[in-house]
Amino acid sequence: MNNTFTDRWRQLDWDDFRLRINSKTAADVDRALNAWQVGRDDLMALLSPAAEAFLEPLAQRAQQLTRQRFGNTVGFYVPLYLSNLCANDCTYCGFSMSNRIKRKTLDDEEIARECDAIREMGFEHLLLVTGEHQGKVGMDYFRRHLPAIRRQFASLQMEVQPLAEEEYAELKGLGLDGVMVYQETYHEATYARHHLKGNKQDFFWRLETPDRLGRAGIDKIGLGALIGLSDSWRVDCFMVAEHLQWLQRKYWKSRYSLSFPRLRPCAGGVEPASLMSEKQLVQTICAFRLLAPEVELSLSTRESPYFRDRVVPIAITNVSAFSQPPPGGYADGDRPALEQFEPHDGRRPEEVARALTDRGLQPVWKEWDSWLGRSAP
C-alpha cells in the first residue's frame, strides 16, 4: 500500500490530465452534472472549458448540495498575522526574504492586544499566520504563545511552515485544531522555478505535510493550489482533488477544507502563468462542491465584496472577514499592508455578516445568537 501522497503523485501525468480536461465535451459535462457520485472523469469535465457554458445548472446543483449538507450557516474566521519574517525566497510572495520590507514578530504583549481587538469584534475562530522562519517563528515560539491564544478562542488553526509529525502532535496537545498548508503548484518543475532559497525548495517535504497532519490526528486539514502559478490552473485544481481524495481515504477521521487563492501582484513578483476569471473561479468552486459535498470550501477577503456576496451563498461554507495582514494590524490599524495581502473586501465583520443575512444565511462567529436577536442561554 502506498505510504504517502508522493507515491500517488508519481503515478499522475500532468500533460495527460491537461489533454483530457481540455478535450471534454458538452455531453461529458451534462453527464457529470447528472452523476449520482462525481468521479475523476466527471471532475475533469466540470473543470473543462466546455463546462463554462453550464455555469447556471452547475451553480444550482452546488447550492443544493451545500444547503443539504451545511444548512444556511457560514463560518466566520479571522487571520492573525504573528510575523512576516521568512527564510524562503519565493518569486510570488511579498514576505520573501529578498524583499526589503519592515519585518515584525509579535511578542506576548502585542499578541494579547491583537487578541483583545479581535475578540472585541466578535470572532471566536482564529487562523494564525506567519512567514516560514524555523529559527525565530518555529516550535519554541508556538510553544510559548499558543496556549494563551487558544484559551481565548473557540477554535485555532495555523498557516505556517511545514512541521514534523511529532511537532504537529505536540501542537494538537496545546489546542491546535487545524492546519492549512498549500502546495502552491503540483507541477514539480514550475515549483522549482518559483522557490529559490530556503526549506520551501523541498517540493516533497511540502507535498507530504498533509500526510504528517493526518498521522498526527489533526482535526482539520486545509489544501489548495496558488491559482495562476502554473500554466494550467485546471490541472493544478485537479491535482488538489487527487490529493483530497487520497487523504480522505487514508485519514478518514480528519475533516478537510479547500481554499482557492488566485495569484496576486507583490513586490518584485511574477505575472500569472494562467489566468482564472471570476466566472472560472465560480466554476471551480462549484465543481469541488459536486465532487465533495461534505468538505469545507473557503473564500478569503482577497476577492471583492461584490464577488463574495454573490458566490458565498452558492457553495462557500467558511469566510474570513476584516483581515489585517501586517503583524499588529488589529490593535494598530494604520499599518500598511503589502499589495499581495491587501484585502479587496475591507468591510468590517458586521457589514459582511449583514450582507450574508440579507441573502438568507446565518453567519456563525462569536455572539451570533445576539446578532440574530436571540439571548444566549
Show me where the domains of the chain are located: 5-368
pLDDT tens track for 230-255: 999 999 999 999 999 999 999 999 99
Residue with cell 476577492: 303
Asked whether 243 and 5 are in contact (CB, 8 A), the reply is yes
Asked whether 32 and 38 are in contact (CB, 8 A), the reply is yes
Q: Please report the pLDDT score of residue 289 as a whole number.
A: 98
Q: Is the dihedral of CA 227, 232, 238, 244 positive or negative?
A: negative
pLDDT tens track for 310-361: 999 999 999 998 888 778 788 876 555 444 445 578 898 899 999 999 999 9
Nearest CA to 145 among 137, 133, 155, 134? 137
Chosen CATH of 5-368 out of 3.40.50.300, 3.40.640.10, 3.30.420.40, 3.20.20.70: 3.20.20.70
What does pTM read for this prediction?
0.92
Q: Please enumerate in sequence order all residues whose Cβ is within 8 A of that of 172, keeping only pairs 6 or more positions apart, or say none.
A: 216, 217, 218, 219
Average pLDDT over residues 14-38: 97
Q: Residue 5 and residue 208: Cα distance in Å, rounded?
A: 6
Residue with cell 471570476: 278
SS3 content of the chain, % helix, strand, coil (to 5): 45, 15, 40
